[in-house]
A and B are shown apart, each in its own frame.
Chain A
Amino acid sequence: MLTKSEILTTLEMVRNENLDVRTITLGLNLLACTSDDLNRFLDNIHTRITRMAGRLVAVCDRVGDDFGIPVVHKRIAVSPMAVAGAAFDRDQMVRVAQTLDRAAADVDVDFIGGFSALTEKGMARGDGALIDAIPQALTATRRVCASVNVASSRAGINMDAVLKMGRIIKKAAGLTADRDGLACAKLCVFANIPQDIPFMAGAYLGIGEPDAVINVGVSGPGVVKKAIDRALAAQGDLNLGHLSETIKRTAYKVTRVGELIGQEVAAALGIGFGVVGLSLAPTPNVGDSVGEIFQSLGLKSIGVPGTTAALAMLNDAVKKGGAFASSRVGGLSGAFIPVSEDLNIADSAARGFLNLEKLEAMTSVCSVGLDMVALPGDTSAETLAAIIADEMAIGVINRKTTATRLIPVPGKQAGDHAFFGGLLGEATIMPVNNGPGTNSFVGRGGLIPAPIQSLIN
């Protein structure tokens, strides 16, 4: 028999605290679709995606309804297209992206990830073609997400790839200038990209993964915030050790939901269950914000001094609670701080509490990185590359994933407003130090070697 408290607190988490399963992502290996005939390749990938994912949305909705917990997003992550489509040139890669987009639309998922390349140590022919295709591919499609890994702790940082990505981001923004550079919101540049991320825009299915797999991304920043508020209302003198414990227990509950629903969906589809990505993923809605948690912890706003310490505590507590709640943990697993996608973080940036440099410091203790950061449109490709390089260095040296999703908004300046719409939100454009200037450091190219793994200070 359940207790009244067990039932009512669970209902409250759904009703008033935005508890949901943020995404169930079907990972699909497409390497068996390979052909040097483009049309055959396109047919193969469309057939495999629509056949394997045809029931995904209906099953997620049915299972979510059965447990009374919404599965907000249903998505697909495929093998890196730079590998599967290595035989094709730039223009053909655009057609690959369009086919992925059509397949995603046919099975009614909102995003499909895996228009991806892994270039941390060098750029193969397929990688170059795919990266060159990214601006046009992300402009011509709605649902396709792209990611490029340019660095790893074992390989170092491929500065040629970093510089190229600066130019690609600039070009992608230009092609979608009428939508504030929206194409860039679907493009992540990574260090140490995990192979099993359920969240977009970084999801792809790694080479070491099974033929098909269900990965789950949980969320729940609203639940964590309310748990902190309740704990403090009950006992005002709680210290940070106590609050960390509250966050940990709450993360356990949130993760259990994802684990249960993910396992059910996987069983119903006859596909193996992969991992739960333990994340606090916000949406641009009041009460579903990571930024609000910092205010509950006692900070005036995310971004003020104390933010990095608070984020370190939050991230660690989420991982501890989530790891205990889940059979297998993967993906990015940590608090997300996507500026435009979190109403509170966007507001903190607009009011000047949060800037690019502070965000960069914060990413040393959390996933993911400089995420959904709107920058002035005149930020040069070299400066974009330099920002990426800085972020990659944090990941490479600290043996963690870091990433950037930078949007140089065409025709707009620092302080102007950028609007991306829907889940991608809106944000005030942040100033960039030496934004339009030159940067011969990144222009030197080459590989920054992999770091020594001892002498770690």
Chain B
Amino acid sequence: MRHLIVVFSLIILGFQANGQLYMAQNGEVSFFSKTPLEDIDALNKQVGSIINADNNEVAVQMRVTNFVFPNKLMQEHFNENYLESDKFPSATFKGKIREVIDLKVPGTYAVTAVGTATIHGITNPIEIKGTIVSKGDQVSLACQFDIKLVDYKIDIPRIVFAKIAEVIRVSSKINYVKK
């Protein structure tokens, strides 16, 4: 019986150590490409993310195929030709918030996440500025940054070059819940 208590306390200890994690399953990431010929935008509403409030580490993961375009043919080209989502199914970010903040304390924080982004199988260092609003057990993050297609070896054929911008503006809005 005493042993059982030890076992259960170990399990509980395990869960308690998890108390500082903020998790999100349905974060939103969208991107926008603007050229004189064509505006392209797409939205992914199934972005997963975790923030560890102990060390302020952040991870974001999304499936490339979950980006929804108003034009479905464009969506297919995006997956088949540009991002090659069969070969590289997901896009990720992994990094750390540079500022010394405690997310468990409610408030609004301007933050800078420094880390690496992996898109199209290519990993590059990246710095993302954003805002975090904490309500204690819920945290929301909003940020915007630019991605250069060349950095991630996303080839645009010359004939459609004029229709797709070289720099894509990415916006993100993620609501986390404490786990």
A in complex with B: no
Task: Point out residues on B near A: beta carbons under 8 Å.
Answer: none
